[in-house]
């Protein structure tokens, strides 16, 4: 059953495609980031390789999903904030979402450009090393590490903002993406 305001033309939730993309990407990004940081503590080479290649395979899937999500936002129906956010708050939220998108793309792209060797996508398809220069690979390794830390910070900020709005301010901002 739709919320009454949705039936009179004011949307209170994002469309199903937007919500699915959001949650699929969020869950996959959480997994990829946790495993990515955990790789540093995996001494067994076979286990390291398995999780590393699984991470890279998921990142390969995440990249077009993020492109679809980024492009879809220009075509999807808008969902106004209403009284939940006003004035500069709306501008700040828009800016932070743009930074969020940028960081995700930087993490994904730098992750591929840092590869010093190819890998098998989910153990099936060979994915070659995109850039055949150790200097360039190492440069993007640094970019990848820094952008992962920044993205982790953005995720914490994002979750904290949702908690603040939902539990403390008691507004329906979380409902927009559920």
Whether residue 68 lies inside any domain: the answer is yes
Q: What is the DSSP letter of 149?
A: H
Whether residue 63 lies inside any domain: the answer is yes
DSSP string, 66-108: HHHHHHHTTTSPP---TTSS-THHHHHHHHHHHHHHHHHHHHH
Per-residue pLDDT, 8: 55
Are 32 and 59 a contacting pair, CB within 8 Å? yes
pTM of the model: 0.87
Domain containing 145 equals: 14-175
CATH number of the domain bearing residue 103: 1.20.950.20
Partners of residue 120 on adjacent β-strands:
126
Number of domains in the chain: 1
> Each residue of 119-173: pLDDT tens digit?
999 999 999 999 999 999 999 999 999 999 999 999 999 999 889 888 988 888 8
């Amino acid at each position: 059953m739709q919320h009454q305001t949705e039936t009179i033309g004011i949307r209170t939730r994002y469309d199903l495609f937007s919500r699915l993309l959001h949650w699929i990407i969020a869950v996959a990004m959480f997994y990829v980031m946790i495993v990515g940081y955990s790789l540093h503590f995996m001494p067994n080479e076979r286990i390291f390789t398995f999780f590393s290649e699984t991470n890279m395979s998921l990142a390969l899937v995440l990249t077009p999903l993020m492109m679809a999500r980024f492009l879809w936002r220009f075509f999807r129906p808008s969902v106004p904030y209403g009284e939940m956010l006003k004035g500069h708050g709306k501008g700040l939220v828009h800016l932070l979402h743009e930074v969020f998108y940028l960081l995700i793309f930087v993490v994904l792209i730098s992750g591929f450009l840092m590869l010093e060797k190819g890998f098998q996508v989910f153990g099936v398809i060979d994915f070659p090393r995109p850039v055949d220069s150790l200097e360039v690979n190492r440069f993007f390794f640094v970019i990848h590490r820094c952008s992962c830390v920044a993205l982790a910070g953005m995720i914490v900020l994002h979750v904290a903002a949702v908690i603040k709005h939902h539990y403390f301010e008691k507004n329906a901002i979380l409902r927009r993406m559920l």
